């Protein structure tokens, strides 16, 4: 497994100083991790419980007041960005990553935070795979850094909700709260059980003998350009047909919902069964039942593939290849789907051999080598000085 070392605070601070040599203030640094969802996909936006965990990779944002009006932003992955006063209104055509920057400023300003008229920003991400919530990571890091420069920043659930508003109001993705909650509320060394209806969170310890392996399929995906919003509309139709509240659908759906529309019946079946799998997965981890946990991952993938139809050939093949490796308890696609990554539960002493074999098989079939790493949680988002 060859993935880059995670970025550190000194690298971000040095890059900021090179890009903005005339800055009169040292930057505030904020870091927000990415996340991998162990189980519970596509039930966060209908009130389900989910089981994500933050990872060691994420997004750094360095911020300092600028000398004039407007925002000057630089990134290790995106073209330079300049926002004029007035560009922070929702719907302004400022480009994709500009919508996150303008959204953070707009959300903070709307909450009464006095953001400086001029800002210098440097953003650097090191998440090595698609589908690990880089957007939530970026949103949270922006809010933390700009809020700190402004002398006021949100924390806890309020921070997660503010990041969700950036997605809803500025980016155009009707996402649930799972990603933001995992990024903000995560605990070191643990997954996070998050109830999206009550918004209660609790850590779930990962037992000894379990490694969480993430493998990028090599298929990029963008939520706004995918069927993500279409699936949300379909669940609204399910709720309407069954006279249920769409905000709590995951916990009110009957085990075998009766719907005349076969497509809607499959969507509803996934939601109902995935919620049960999350509950069972938390129980299995608490008991140290790794085989039972792996079987739930496999069942989740089948449901996402067949009932919710958000997988793809590459994800299916990569998950199946991991399952065939010695020491693999189970594997599934993770995240919104339509590309992105696979998560596998493996015995630690089998990770290297299994990952190498899976990468080789994927390369032979699809011509691309997946980036694979062992995910580790160091906790949620934080400000560095």
Enumerate the active-site residues: 179
Using the CB atoms, write b or e for 229-247: b if 16+ within 10 Å: eebbebbebbbebbebebe
The C-alpha angle 362, 368, 373, rounded to 5 degrees, equals 70
Placement of tokens 């990872």 in the chain: 55
Helix (H, G, I), strand (E, B) or coil at 61: strand
User: Do 201 and 194 contact (CB within 8 A), yes or no?
Assistant: yes
Task: Pick the closest to residue 263 from 294, 299, 227 (CA basis).
Answer: 227
Task: Pick the closest to residue 282 from 353, 153, 191 (CA basis).
Answer: 191
Residue 323's CB: how many other CB atoms inside 10 A? 20
Joined together, the tokens standing for residue 317 give: 């093949």
Q: Give me the half-sphere count of Cα atoms (radius 13 Å) on the Cβ side of residue 261.
A: 12
| Measured distance CA(342)–CA(372) in Å, rounded | 9
| Measured distance CA(27)–CA(119) in Å, rounded | 10
C-alpha radius of gyration, the chain, whole number: 21
User: Do 194 and 185 contact (CB within 8 A), yes or no?
Assistant: yes
- Sequence-distant (6+) residues with CB within 8 A of 57 are 6, 33, 34, 126, 127, 128, 132
| Measured distance CA(136)–CA(134) in Å, rounded | 6
**Can you point out the beta strands (E) in the chain?**
28-39, 49-65, 70-75, 81-83, 118-125, 190-195, 201-205, 211-216, 328-334, 341-346, 372-375, 382-384
């Amino acid at each position: 497994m060859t993935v880059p070392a995670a970025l550190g605070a000194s690298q971000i601070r040095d890059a900021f100083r090179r890009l903005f040599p005339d800055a009169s203030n040292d930057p505030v640094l904020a870091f927000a991790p990415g996340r991998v969802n162990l189980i519970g996909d596509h039930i966060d936006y209908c009130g389900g419980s989910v089981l994500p965990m933050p990872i060691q990779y994420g997004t750094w944002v360095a911020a300092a007041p600028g000398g004039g009006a407007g925002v000057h932003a630089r990134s290790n992955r995106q073209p330079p960005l300049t926002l004029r006063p007035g560009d922070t209104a929702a719907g302004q055509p400022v480009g994709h990553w500009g919508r996150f920057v303008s959204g953070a400023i707009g959300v903070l300003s709307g909450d009464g935070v006095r953001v400086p008229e001029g800002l210098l920003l440097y953003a650097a991400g090191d998440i090595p795979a698609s589908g690990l919530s880089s957007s939530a990571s970026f949103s949270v890091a922006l809010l933390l850094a700009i809020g700190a420069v402004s002398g006021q920043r949100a924390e806890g659930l309020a921070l997660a909700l503010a990041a969700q508003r950036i997605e809803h109001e500025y980016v155009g993705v009707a996402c649930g709260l799972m990603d933001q909650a995992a990024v903000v509320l995560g605990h070191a060394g643990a997954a996070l059980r998050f109830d999206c209806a009550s918004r209660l969170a609790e850590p779930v310890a990962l037992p000894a003998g379990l490694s969480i392996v993430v493998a990028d399929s090599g298929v990029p995906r963008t939520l706004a350009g995918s069927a993500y919003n279409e699936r949300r509309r379909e669940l609204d139709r399910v709720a309407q047909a069954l006279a249920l509240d769409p905000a709590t659908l995951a916990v009110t759906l009957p085990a075998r919902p009766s719907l005349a529309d076969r497509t809607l019946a499959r969507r509803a079946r996934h939601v109902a069964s995935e919620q049960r799998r999350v509950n069972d997965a938390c129980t299995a981890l608490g008991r140290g039942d790794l085989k039972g946990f792996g079987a739930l991952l496999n069942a989740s993938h089948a449901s996402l593939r067949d009932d919710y139809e958000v997988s793809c050939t590459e994800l299916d093949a990569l998950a199946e290849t991991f399952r065939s490796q010695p020491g693999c308890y189970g594997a599934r696609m993770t995240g919104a789907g339509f590309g992105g990554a696979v998560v596998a539960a493996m015995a630690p002493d089998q990770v290297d051999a299994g990952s190498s074999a899976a990468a080789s098989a994927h390369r032979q079939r699809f011509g691309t080598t997946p980036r694979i790493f062992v995910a580790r949680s160091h906790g949620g988002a934080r400000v560095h000085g």
